[in-house]
Amino acid sequence: MKSTRSIITITFLSLAMNSLFAGHHESGSSHSNEMTAQNWIQASYTGKQEMIATIKENMAEEGLNYPGRFVGFGFNWNPDLGEGRMVIQRVIANSPAEGILKPGDEFVSVEGVEVNQKNIDDEKLAFSGQPGKAVNAVILRDGKRKNISVTRGIVNSSNTKAQVLENLTEADEDNWTTIEHRINEVASNKEENLVYVWHWHKSLNTTFDLEFEQNVVTRFQFNKAGQVLARGDLSEERLVQSQLGFSLTR
């Protein structure tokens, strides 16, 4: 999980993707890496246990998952630890929070706004926003209050196989709902052991109770044994932002 569920604008490189997929075959290839990639995507839409089984079987022990860049502090927390509490589980390496926060720290307030369930759900806490701005917060560390300041920045996070499985294990299985989806096309670079899966889905943003749709291109890199070394997405987050009623202004 990211430190905030705010919508992050990522430009979808549609022209580049169209060029990549032009002339390639559609899904249904018998190539083993392509089938693994397609099964991975299918499992992500199907359910928690299906996704866990897929990760265990197909992700290399040294593999990394790249969930996407975002602007913020750079930490993970588990909302199931307590109603309205935000306790840090992991600080992302090379993030703005590194060296300032540590696992076990609990947020009390951010820019004077109390950390409680309503403010978390309404995204009132100033973790995201313009990069380069110093954000003041109060945390609990070893039972004592501590004032901190974190300057927002771009966070390029990655998760190991163990971290991915830990996050999935802690996830609420009820959050997997029926999502309309399809795999549009699959392309591969066999010399580099790369597979790209272009897929589409329609989903519901539970914060705003609004439906949205988007295209996503997922990039898989495989080792010689056919296991996933790296996985990351390019998605139409700006389109999603528009469908939820937001606009980008300066």
**Residue 185, Cβ neighbours under 10 Å: how many?**
17
- pLDDT for position 24: 44
Show the tokens assigned to 107. 């947020």
Return the domain boundaries, the chain: 14-68+158-243, 70-155
Instruction: Map tokens 């469908």 to a residue.
Output: 243
Instruction: Give 68-82 pLDDT, tens digit per residue.
Output: 888 899 998 877 777
- Of 82, 72, 90, the C-alpha closest to 115 is 82
- Of 184, 225, 185, 187, the C-alpha closest to 201 is 184
- pLDDT for position 214: 93
- pLDDT for position 11: 33
Half-sphere exposure of 57 (CA within 13 A, CB side): 11
Strands 59-66 and 228-235, sheet pairing: parallel
Q: How far apart are CA 191 and CA 24, in angstroms?
A: 15
The domain 70-155 having CATH identifier 2.40.170.20: the answer here is no
Mean pLDDT of 201-207: 82
Instruction: Give 132-151 pLDDT, tens digit per residue.
Output: 999 999 999 999 999 999 99
Angle between helices 48-58 and 32-46 (to 10 degrees): 150
| Phi, psi dihedral angles at 165 (to 5 degrees) | -65, -35
Instruction: Give 14-36 pLDDT, tens digit per residue.
Output: 334 444 444 444 433 338 999 99
Which class is 14-68+158-243 in CATH?
A: alpha beta
pTM: 0.74
Instruction: Name the DSSP letter for residue 138.
Output: E
Amino acid (one-letter) located at 179:
I
Mean pLDDT of 109-127: 92
Instruction: Give 151-197 pLDDT, tens digit per residue.
Output: 999 998 889 999 999 889 888 887 787 789 999 999 999 899 999 99
Whole-number average pLDDT of the chain? 84
The band of 66, judged by pLDDT with boundaries at 50, 70 and 90, is very high
Beta bridge partners of 246: none
| Phi, psi dihedral angles at 175 (to 5 degrees) | -75, -15
